[in-house]
Amino acid sequence: MRKTILINENWKFVKENVGAAEVFTAPSDKVNIPHTWNAIDGQDGGNDYYRGTCWYGKTFSKPELNNGDQVYLEFRGANSTAEVWVNNHKLCTHDGGYSAFRINITDALQEENELVVSVDNGPNDRVYPQMADFTFYGGIYRDVYMVIVPNSHFDMDYFGGNGFQITSEINEKTAVVSLKSYVSGEAEAVRYTISGVGNVQVPVIDGVASGSLIVSEVHLWDGVEDPYLYQAKAELIKNGHVIDQVDSRFGCRTFSFDKDKGFFLNGRSYPLRGVSRHQDRIGVGNAITKEMMQEDMELIKEIGANTIRLAHYQHDQYFYDLCDQYGMIVWAEIPYITEHMPNGRENTISQMKELIVQNFNHPSIICWGLSNEISVTGVTDDLMENHKILNDLAHKMDHTRPTTMAHAFMLEIDEPLVFLPDVMSYNLYYGWYLGNLTDNDVFFDDFHKKYPDKIIGLAEYGADANPRLQTAMPEKGDYTEQYQCVYHEHLIQMSAERPYLWSTHVWNMFDFAADGRDEGGKNGINQKGLVTFDRKYKKDAFFLYKANWSKEPFVHLCGRNYIERHEEETEVKVYSNYDTVELYNNGELVEKQSGEKVFTFKLKLQGNHRIEVKAGNCSDEITICKVPEPNKAYQLEGREVINWFDEPDMNCPEGYYSIKDVMADIRKSPEAAKILDDMIIYAKSKRGDVAKKVKQSKSMAKAMNAMTVEALIKQAGGSIPKSMVVEVNKSLNRVKKVNDIVVELKEENYSI
Ligand code: GCU
């Protein structure tokens, strides 16, 4: 029988490209897996974290083996290219930092062994991801196992899978469960058992054993309400003895998509409303523990989501298992992202094969994501061909799940790429990076009107919020908790009014590291999370979703961090899934309100206030007070100016440009356009690599052209310092207006 041994402890780590021969002699640290070398520098901004080759080493004695036993090493994740040596023999190279891989080391074994692994997260043009809005932490950051199997065994060599594939087909109350396994070496039969159902023994023919079992009165895997899992085992029989065994859970469910009504699970309408997740955490990067994964899942459960987009790469098996257990519907994807690389085709294919083979049996997964925002730097023939290959591959490997893609919001809705996958989705950021909140509504209305037969969803949407930043007047680009709420209140309503959206996923459940970012009062962090990077603080918007999605009764008072308030009359906002809430000020009832999810109260401010809200058996409390001056700590540095033209040296002379002009007018003068472009390049540099690369579509260029420079500056959220705004305005004031030229719309790089 096989033996699986976790070998995470006691590795040597050399943070230098010393070469295989030097690993045990070079100065090193002692580390345990999971490990990354970018836990700190990958999260502190500057886009300067160490990307290159580092080395790991471990010694071990030869395990006790029976005749013919095969010894494998199994790496669950090493980012992003790993090479494995045993006793100076290089045994494998694996490209792809988020999928599991195995290597047979039997022939290289001696009594005492030196295992050496190089891991490289340096830039190249063939392994995805290379360009994306998250940190590519280097390291062996998921578990490592030694697996000893008999000479004949369930296949260990096919794209990291366990050689056991389960598919179920449901007919009314009965499920036909097809069981298939792949066998290496000689064996006569495989016995399949489903706990509580029965077993069947089938012959191994040409290395494959196919059988089926009927489950009558099938207990469906029914999403978050009843995620019932069956337990299956496959036993390999040789000479009448069981010599190997693999186990897998599976679930029986059906699902479908309707162009008007969205997603259906087990025949009933089941609108998918949920969040996206990146795996990393503050202080530990991607080297997270099972307890951390469990905590993430508990938070996602608490918010009441029924779906997770596991972005932008393969997640840990443990997390997919949790999704099965908690009944989450999952969008799984490979890190084919942002920038298509002509040399990366092979890597997209192998990563897609790994994704499907390793995750085939998870009932939670309902689609395979081909790519994310891949059109950002332009669409080429090679990109189209690459996607067709992946799409066909996914269909060939799995006829039970559709393919999907997350399109960038600057991809015009008529582009052929939009329609390449089976079901479509867009990442939209109207009301944050660009445009107004209602542009999201218009976008989907246009799409649905033009393509009523297509299945469309919202794969990403979100707005950054730093819990330190608080305001009575929320505005796009201010990074306050309050604007994040305004944004999500609108988006929730927008999607509720459009039941055809097959899924919506908030970007993102948790703040995450993007070392190239420097905005919103934090360096190196994307703050679109509903929960902070350390998982310790639930932002107000978290409770908005909880009110909409969760059945667990609760009431929440917003503005917990907005303690010192300057306004005469303040707004007190409450999120709850009760329909009646009562607000108390210093123990006195202010008002009892009935409504749905969002309740707002007005309160005159004077001195100190202990505010309490009660709903059913639940209550919440905050303390706030009136202060004579606005608290500067609540404002984003660089965004303190409310009206630019109240500031000294800010003018708007007749016949000359100023920041009050719309961009289309400024672009009529090459001299003024240059001033604008320089400012935009500067602002973009604060939003990381992806922002620098974005290529605008014509429709977005049109939207941008209609904006004033002043509006653009606000949207940039304080990333353009006051002194620069004054200088830009002064420079524009020196340029005479050009009135009679029509500027041609170009796909220029001028969004922020
Ligand atoms: C993109 C992208 C994410 C990114 C997000 C953002 O659309 O897919 O990876 O983090 O937008 O800008 O916050």
Question: Among the residues of 623-697, which ranges form H helices?
Answer: 663-666, 670-684, 688-693
3-class secondary structure, 711 = helix
Mean pLDDT confidence for 372-387: 96
Centroid of ligand 1 to alpha carbon of 370 (angstroms): 16
The four Cα atoms 457, 459, 464, 467 give a dihedral, to 10 degrees, of 90
List all residues 6 or more positions away from 1 whose beta carbon is below 8 Å from its beta carbon. Answer: 150, 242, 243, 244, 245
- Please check whether residue 715 is in contact with residue 434, taking contact to mean a CB–CB distance below 8 angstroms: yes
Give the list of residues 6+ apart from residue 484 with CB closer than 8 angstroms, or none: 463, 464, 465, 539, 540, 541
From 178-192, 633-647, 738-752, the region with the lowest mean pLDDT: 738-752
Cα angle: 218, vertex 220, 221; to 5 degrees: 145
Q: Is the peptide bond before 653 cis (omega within 30 degrees of 0)?
A: no
pLDDT classification of 366: cutoffs 50, 70, 90: very high
- Contact status, residue 454 vs residue 443, Cβ threshold 8 Å: no
Give the atom of ligand 1 at the shortest distance from the alpha carbon of 464. Answer: 13
752 C-alpha to center of ligand 1: Å? 13
What pLDDT sits at residue 747? 53
Tokens of 527: 């703050």
Contact 696/742 with Cβ under 8 angstroms? no
Burial of 744 (0-12, 13-18, 19+ CB in 10 A): exposed
Tell me the three state secondary structure of residue 367.
strand
CA 482–ligand 1 middle distance (angstroms): 21
Residue 105: predicted pLDDT? 98
The rounded Å distance from CA 429 to ligand 1 centre is: 9
Question: DSSP 3-state assignment of 682?
Answer: helix
How far is ligand 1, taken at its centre, from the CA of residue 134, in Å? Answer: 9
Q: Do residues 510 and 533 touch, judged by C-beta distance below 8 A?
A: yes
Q: Which residue has the higher pLDDT, 208 or 703?
A: 208
- Rounded distance, CA 333 to CA 367, Å? 8
| Rg of the chain on CA atoms, in Å | 28
Q: How confident is the model at residue 742 (pLDDT cuts 50, 70, 90)?
A: low
Over range 408-417, report the average pLDDT: 94
Predicted TM-score of the model (pTM)? 0.93
Q: How far apart are CA 381 and CA 428, in angstroms?
A: 25
pLDDT digits (tens, 9 = 90+) for 669-698: 999 999 998 888 888 888 777 777 777 677
> What is residue 398's DSSP assignment?
-
Give the residues across from 227 on adjacent strands: 221
Q: DSSP for 90-127?
A: EEEEEE-SSS-EEEE-GGG--SEEEEEEEEE----SSS
pLDDT in tens, 291-343: 999 999 999 999 999 999 999 999 999 999 999 999 999 999 999 999 999 99
Q: How far is the CA of 555 from the centre of ligand 1 (A)?
A: 31
As a whole number, mean pLDDT of residues 115-131 equals 98
CB atoms within 10 A of CB 627: 13
Of 701, 720, 672, nearest in space to 435 by CA:
701
- For residue 427, the ligand 1 atom closest to its alpha carbon is 7
The per-residue DSSP string of 215-275 comes to ESS---EEGGGEE--EEEEEEEEETTEEEEEEEEEE----EEEETTTEEEETTEE--EEEE
Tell me what pLDDT residue 12 has: 98
CB burial string 638-664: b at 16+ within 10 A, e below: bbebeebeeeeebeeeeeebbbbbbbb
Pocket test for ligand 1, best of 128, 310, 338, 507 (most atoms within 8 A of CB): 507
pLDDT exceeds 60 at position 749: no
Identity of residue 83: E
pLDDT band at 743 (very low <50, low <70, confident <90, very high): low
Q: Measured from the CA of 406, which atom of ligand 1 is nearest?
A: 8
For 33-47, 299-313, 650-664, which range has the lowest pLDDT when averaged over its residues? 650-664
| Ligand 1 atom 5 nearest Cα | 133
Cα–Cα separations (whole angstroms), residue 737 to 337, 670, 672, 704, 708: 41, 11, 9, 19, 15
Active site residues: 373
- Options 2.60.40.10, 2.160.10.10, 2.40.170.20, 3.40.630.10; which CATH number does 564-633 get? 2.60.40.10
Averaged pLDDT, 483-492 = 98
Contact at 8 Å (CB) between 574 and 554? no
Positive or negative: CA dihedral 51, 53, 54, 58: positive
Which of 460, 518, 686 has the most ligand 1 atoms within 8 A of CB, as the residue to mutate?
460
Band (pLDDT 50/70/90 cuts) for residue 748 is: low
The percent of residues above 90 in pLDDT, for the chain, comes to 89
Domain boundaries, the chain: 3-150, 164-250, 257-553, 564-633, 638-733
Under the banding of pLDDT at 50, 70 and 90, the label for residue 236 is very high
Take atom 7 of ligand 1 and give the residue whose Cα is closest: 427
Q: Is the pLDDT of residue 288 over 50?
A: yes
Q: Bigger pLDDT: 679 or 96? A: 96
Q: What is the CATH number of domain 164-250?
A: 2.60.40.10
Identity at 669, one-letter amino acid code: S
Sign of CA dihedral 557, 563, 565, 568: positive
Is 614 within 8 Å of 553 (Cβ atoms)? no
Residue written as token pair 């999971």: 34
Note whether 695 and 373 are within 8 A (CB): no
- Return the H-helix or E-strand segment holding 392: helix 381-397
Sheet-wide strand order for 112-120: 29-31, 11-14, 53-61, 112-120, 81-86, 89-95
Query: Residue 744: its pLDDT value, please?
Result: 63
**DSSP codes of every residue in 472-530:** SS--TTS--HHHHHHHHHHHHHHHHT-TT--EEEES-SB-EEEEEEEETTEEEEE---S
> Per CATH, which fold does 3-150 belong to?
Jelly Rolls (2.60.120)
* Whole-angstrom distance, CA of residue 476 vs CA of residue 431: 7
pLDDT tens digits, one per residue of 424-446: 999 999 999 988 999 999 999 99
Cβ neighbours around 588 below 10 Å, total: 8
Taking CA atoms only, the protein residue closest to ligand 1 atom 2 is 133
pLDDT reading at 750 higher than 50: no
Position 704 confidence tier, pLDDT thresholds 50, 70, 90:
confident
Distance of alpha carbon 429 from alpha carbon 411, whole angstroms: 13
Q: What is the mean pLDDT of residues 8-13?
A: 98
pLDDT in the model for residue 740: 72
For the chain, percent of residues with pLDDT exceeding 70: 98
Check residue 645 and give its pLDDT. 86
Query: Do the domains 3-150 and 564-633 sit in the same CATH topology, yes or no?
Result: no
Query: Can you tell me the mean pLDDT for 520-538?
Result: 97
Minimal CA–CA distance to 520: which of 490, 479, 460? 479
| pLDDT at 694 (0 to 100) | 73
Please, what is the angle between helix 438-450 and helix 481-496, to 10°? 20
| SS3 at position 653 | coil
For the record, the structure tokens of 260 come out as 């008007």
Per-residue model confidence as pLDDT tens digits over 590-629: 999 999 999 999 999 999 999 999 999 999 999 999 999 9
* pLDDT value of residue 62: 98
| Reported CATH class of domain 257-553 | alpha beta
For residue 495, count other CB atoms closer than 10 A to its CB. 23
Contact at 8 Å (CB) between 687 and 719?
Answer: yes
Mean pLDDT, to the nearest integer, of 271-292?
98
- The rounded distance, in Å, linking the Cα atoms of 47 and 704 is 27
* Ligand 1, CB within 6 Å, residue ranges: 132-133, 312, 372-373, 427, 460, 507, 526, 528
If you average pLDDT over residues 342-367, what whole number do you get?
Answer: 98
- Would the pLDDT of 452 be above 50? yes
Burial zone of 144 (CB within 10 Å; 0-12 exposed, 13-18 middle, 19+ buried): buried
In 260-360, DSSP assigns E strands to 262-265, 268-269, 272-277, 307-310, 329-333
Q: Which residues contact 593 (CB under 8 A, 6 or more apart)?
A: 580, 581, 582, 583, 599, 601
User: Looking at ligand 1, which atom is closest to the CA of residue 311?
Assistant: 9
Atom number in ligand 1 closest to CA 408? 7
- Residues 151-167 have pLDDT tens digits of 999 999 999 999 999 99
